[in-house]
């Protein structure tokens, strides 16, 4: 079996250290004064807040931005976003608690939370019903029955949206099309029968639909066309099946550009979205996650050793895929900057790589613990810090914390 490693970075060079914000560098250098090697995430909540403000201000009044907490659940980041988003998308009780704490509302107002996930347990569904969330995105007929039974026992009606796996989405661009077998949602041909049964369940308020068919889309025009399609499909399906449509959730999917890619044009997306005819009283929910927080975080790890092996050089980190698995799991080149650290024990040899290509690896006992390959560095020494920008999403949350039992990466807020 071949090992999945990130693609080669050649002929790229590492970023110069001056791409790192001054406040970040000061904080990281402070961390080097501790007794333990540095391995940490540092987040700037204002960067995430500005991205949320940019998206929110570009959209029409009928649109709502709900941050997908799974992308970065650090409480400081969630709280920094809270004033600038309309609500949160959650998939667990832990995420629900974060969202409720960050965005308190009056007792008579639905909690601005939508909930997703293909296998919601009874404890999760019970917590969602008791919290009075704005919508539970129901994944199946069985889940609808469970929600209704819980709601009846609690003496309430739970607001739900049916998640749909559409047969086709006639939109070109960087979209994952519907119509493929999946554990997510109800297949479109089955929707009428499921809705007919759902309308008979006493504990449900069927508010609309959830359609999530986009992933890492950098094309603003195709994403606006996808939004239009979701609204038109939901309006048509609600009318045919006697649903009082108030809620259309189009999921996330706005992409984040890496080197050489054109960033998503937020202004153009907002302009085109404003041309969509949305029925009165219908809220269109967007669930951005990665788009809001990717560039608000940095992962930094100390170089514990610089090694040469059969003509290749390796920077060995106090960290790795147990802290930052994204480059390996997503098959991407995630570039670095090297932050020099001058503190070094007197009389101790300090190996270095100078003007050479290096491979950045972690501390785990597997060759799969490789974060970056064949990147050109001016100089990287044992004791310096390797810093990965754009590590604010699916970083700490996505890693293999317990593998080998090393301490997890710390998390800090600027």
Q: Distance between CA 95 and CA 107 in Å, rounded?
A: 20
Q: Any idea how long the chain is?
A: 414
In terms of Cα–Cα distance, which of 223, 327, 257 is closest to 51?
A: 257
Side-chain-facing half-sphere of 291: CA atoms under 13 Å:
29
Helix (H, G, I), strand (E, B) or coil at 338: strand
Token pair 């970065």 in the structure block, residue: 72
- Alpha-carbon span 147 to 157, nearest angstrom: 9
Please tell me the distance from the alpha carbon of residue 24 to that of residue 21, in angstroms, as a whole number.
Answer: 5
CA proximity to 390, closest of 255, 274, 272: 255
**CA-derived radius of gyration, the chain:** 23
375 and 9 Cβ atoms separated by less than 8 Å: yes
140 φ, ψ (degrees, to nearest 5): -165, 170
Residue 7: DSSP 8-state: P
Cβ 196 vs Cβ 175: under 8 Å: no
Residue 311: φ, ψ to 5°: 85, 0
Active-site hit among 25, 230, 348, 365: 365
193: Cα within 13 Å, side-chain hemisphere: 8
- Which residues are within 8 A (CB) of 284 and not within 5 positions of it... i.e. 6 or more apart? 62, 63, 64, 227, 230, 231, 248, 249, 250, 278
Residue 230 annotated to the active site: no
Pairing of strands 385-388, 337-339: antiparallel
The residues annotated with a catalytic role in the active site are 365
């Amino acid at each position: 079996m071949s090992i999945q490693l990130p693609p080669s970075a050649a002929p790229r060079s590492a970023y110069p250290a001056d791409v790192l914000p001054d406040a970040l560098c000061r904080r990281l250098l402070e961390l080097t004064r501790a007794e333990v090697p540095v391995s940490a995430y540092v987040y700037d909540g204002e960067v995430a807040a500005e991205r949320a403000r940019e998206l929110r201000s570009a959209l029409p009044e009928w649109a709502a931005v709900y941050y997908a907490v799974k992308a970065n659940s650090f409480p400081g980041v969630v709280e920094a976003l809270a004033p600038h988003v309309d609500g949160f998308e959650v998939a667990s009780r832990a995420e629900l608690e974060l969202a409720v704490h960050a965005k308190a509302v009056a007792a008579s107002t639905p909690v601005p939370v939508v909930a997703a996930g293909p296998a919601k347990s009874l404890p999760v569904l019970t917590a969602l019903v008791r919290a009075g969330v704005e919508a539970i995105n129901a994944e199946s007929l069985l889940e609808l029955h469970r929600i209704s039974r819980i709601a009846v026992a609690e003496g309430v009606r739970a607001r739900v949206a049916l998640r749909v796996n559409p047969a086709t989405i006639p939109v070109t661009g960087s979209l994952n099309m519907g119509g493929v077998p999946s554990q997510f949602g109800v297949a479109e041909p089955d929707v009428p029968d499921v809705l007919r049964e759902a309308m008979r369940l006493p504990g449900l308020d069927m508010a609309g639909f959830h359609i999530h068919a986009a992933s890492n889309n950098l094309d603003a025009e195709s994403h606006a066309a996808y939004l239009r399609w979701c609204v038109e499909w939901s309006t048509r399906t609600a009318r045919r099946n006697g649903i009082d449509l108030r809620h259309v959730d189009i999921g996330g999917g706005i992409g984040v550009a890496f080197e050489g890619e054109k960033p998503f044009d937020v202004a153009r997306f907002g302009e085109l979205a404003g041309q969509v005819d949305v029925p009165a009283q219908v809220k269109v929910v967007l669930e951005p996650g990665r788009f809001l927080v990717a560039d608000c975080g940095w992962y930094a790890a100390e170089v514990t050793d610089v090694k040469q092996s059969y003509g290749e050089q390796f920077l060995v980190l106090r960290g790795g895929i147990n802290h930052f698995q994204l480059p390996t799991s997503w098959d991407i080149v995630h570039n670095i900057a090297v932050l020099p650290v001058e503190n070094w024990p007197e009389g101790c040899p300090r190996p270095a790589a100078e003007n050479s290509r290096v491979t950045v690896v972690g501390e785990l006992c597997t060759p799969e613990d490789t974060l970056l390959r064949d990147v050109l560095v001016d100089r990287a020494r044992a004791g310096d810090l390797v810093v990965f920008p754009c590590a604010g999403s699916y970083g700490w949350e996505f890693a293999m914390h317990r593998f080998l039992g090393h301490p997890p990466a710390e998390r800090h807020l600027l």
